[in-house]
């Protein structure tokens, strides 16, 4: 019998798809990808055990339950008020000494591994109920980019914890009749890719469900401009078998999230006019992304929704990184309709052919 206590913090590489209860959907997926040989920026997770250690150690659970008791689906004002009070309590609370020390030590080791003092990181919420087939909890919690230094890492880890109780997340759980107490949160702390370009990729055509295609959305800078809808991305439709780009739409990309090297943070900037209509990734990168998408889909055995980045600091050929991968849920939840419409009599077949304008020999 294994009596080893669940860790408060663990490396992504120590996780896999069976680690959702410990590190949530995002971090479990990152660990699975690393162990499948996919390029993923290194990092670590504050586990759900660390989250509970923080909440219990600060004595917040009873107050949270009190705030959420009997909130109805249409109680929008109560949801917002409860969210504001819960988030303020969480962000004002202190870490236990053990948890704070473990986060600081992992961050120090990550900085050494990356050979960058106070390495910039992305801090992402990873809930236990998100990124799962049949669930749509992804995107309910917060992400913070280009965070540097242990003090800011700790502050934004608490902000991620508190985002489990955003008004939007509370409302969604109430609407879906999902127990607030059944959702825990992990936080992924991952080396920030210095993105020249980034975006999302679906290993099917999300408009039609066609699994013979891969759709890639791309824009300059960090991918948050694409995910948030602040920019209309370039669109590339790729044949999954040949990896040929069969359709491409180059859009006008007026803004991008870039690094502000003075403040060591990300900021939204206007792109120069001469760059706005340039294709954001080259054809070789489109092909490599599609190849990686195929490998990820084959590994998971299902169509995938993937976030990616091209790292400006890395050499071509090894500069594309996968930031997240989760099962695609829209088409996965639709039942396929039979092509023939079932058995027909000869007369029904002839009539249906005539109505469809098909010549009957």
> Residue 336: phi, psi to the nearest 5?
-70, 135
Which DSSP helix (H) or strand (E) runs through 200?
strand 195-202
Residue 186 shares a structural domain with residue 199 = no
Tokens of 89: 């309590």
In a domain, 160, yes or no: yes
- The three-class DSSP label of residue 6 is coil
Same domain assignment for residues 115 and 24: yes
Kindly state whether residue 174 falls inside one of the protein's structural domains: yes
181: in domain: yes
Q: Sign of the C-alpha dihedral, residues 266, 268, 273, 278?
A: positive
Say what the pLDDT of residue 262 is: 76
Tell me, yes or no, whether 321 and 210 share the same domain: yes
Domain of 151 in residue numbering reads as 9-191
Here the tokens at position 12 are 């992504």
Same domain for 246 and 104? no
- From the list 146, 152, 124, 143, the residue with the least C-alpha distance to 259 is 146
The encoded tokens of residue 14 equal: 């120590």
Please give the torsion angle defined by the CA atoms of residues 80, 83, 89 and 93, in that order, rounded to the nearest 10 degrees. Answer: -140
pLDDT at residue 300 in the model: 92
Say if residue 162 is in the same domain as residue 295: no
**CATH code (residue 300):** 3.30.470.20
Q: In the chain, how many H helices and how many E strands?
A: 10, 13
User: C-alpha angle with apex 192: 23 to 90, nearest 5 degrees?
Assistant: 50
- Whether 175 and 219 map to the same domain: the answer is no
DSSP conformation class of 102? H
pTM of the model: 0.79
Each of the 361 residues of the chain gets a pLDDT tens digit; together they read 455 778 999 999 999 989 999 999 889 999 999 999 999 999 999 999 999 999 999 999 999 989 998 898 889 999 999 999 999 999 999 999 999 999 999 999 999 999 999 999 999 999 886 544 444 444 456 788 889 999 999 999 999 999 999 999 899 888 888 888 778 899 999 999 889 999 999 999 999 999 999 999 999 999 888 888 899 999 999 999 999 999 999 999 999 998 887 776 788 999 999 999 999 999 999 999 999 999 999 999 999 999 999 988 777 778 999 998 988 887 766 654 444 444 444 444 444 444 444 443 4
Do 222 and 320 reside in the same domain of the chain? yes
pLDDT of residue 360: 38
User: According to the model, what pLDDT value does residue 340 have?
Assistant: 42
Task: Return the sign of the alpha-carbon dihedral for residues 26, 29, 35, 36.
Answer: negative
| pLDDT at residue 162, rounded to an integer | 95
Pairing of strands 265-270, 304-311: unpaired
pLDDT at 143: 84
Q: Last residue of some domain: 191, 209, 234?
A: 191
DSSP state string for 33-82: HHHTT-----EEEE-HHHHHHHHHHTT-HHHHHHHHTT--TT-HHHHHHH
User: Are 184 and 216 in a shared domain?
Assistant: no
Verify that 84 and 179 share a domain, yes or no. yes
Measured between alpha carbons, how far is residue 357 from residues 75, 353, 360 in Å? Answer: 54, 6, 9
Do residue 93 and residue 114 come from a single domain?
Answer: yes
């Amino acid at each position: 019998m294994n009596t080893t206590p669940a860790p408060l913090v663990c490396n992504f590489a120590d996780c896999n798809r069976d680690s959702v209860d410990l590190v949530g959907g995002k971090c479990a997926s990152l660990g699975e990808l690393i162990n499948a040989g996919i390029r993923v920026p290194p990092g670590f997770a504050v586990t759900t055990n660390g989250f509970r250690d923080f909440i219990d150690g600060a004595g917040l659970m009873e107050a949270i339950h009190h705030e959420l008791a009997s909130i109805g689906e249409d109680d929008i004002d109560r949801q917002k008020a409860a969210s504001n009070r819960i988030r303020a309590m969480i962000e004002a609370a202190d870490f236990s000494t053990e948890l704070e020390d473990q986060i600081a030590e992992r961050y120090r080791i990550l900085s050494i591994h990356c050979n960058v003092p106070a390495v910039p990181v992305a801090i992402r919420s990873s809930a236990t109920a998100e990124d799962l087939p049949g669930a749509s909890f992804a995107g309910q919690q917060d992400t913070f980019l280009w965070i540097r230094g242990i003090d800011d890492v700790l502050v934004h880890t608490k902000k991620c914890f508190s985002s489990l109780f955003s008004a939007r997340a509370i409302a969604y759980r109430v609407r879906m009749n999902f127990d607030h107490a059944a959702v825990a949160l992990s936080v992924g702390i991952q080396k920030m890719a210095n993105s020249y370009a980034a975006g999302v990729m679906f290993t099917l055509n999300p408009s039609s469900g066609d699994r013979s295609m891969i759709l890639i959305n791309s824009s300059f800078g960090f991918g948050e401009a694409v995910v948030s809808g602040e920019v209309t991305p370039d669109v590339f439709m790729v044949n999954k078998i040949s990896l040929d780009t069969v359709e491409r739409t180059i859009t006008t990309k007026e803004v991008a999230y870039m690094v502000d090297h003075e403040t060591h943070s990300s900021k939204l900037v206007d792109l120069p006019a001469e760059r706005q209509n340039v294709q954001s990734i080259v054809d070789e990168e489109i092909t490599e992304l599609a190849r990686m998408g195929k490998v990820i889909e084959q590994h998971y055995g299902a169509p995938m929704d993937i976030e990616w980045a091209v790292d400006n600091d890395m050499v071509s050929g090894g500069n594309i990184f996968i930031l997240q991968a989760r099962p695609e849920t829209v088409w996965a939840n639709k039942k396929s309709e039979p092509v023939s419409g079932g058995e027909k009599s000869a007369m029904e077949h002839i009539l249906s052919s005539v109505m469809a304008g098909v010549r009957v020999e």
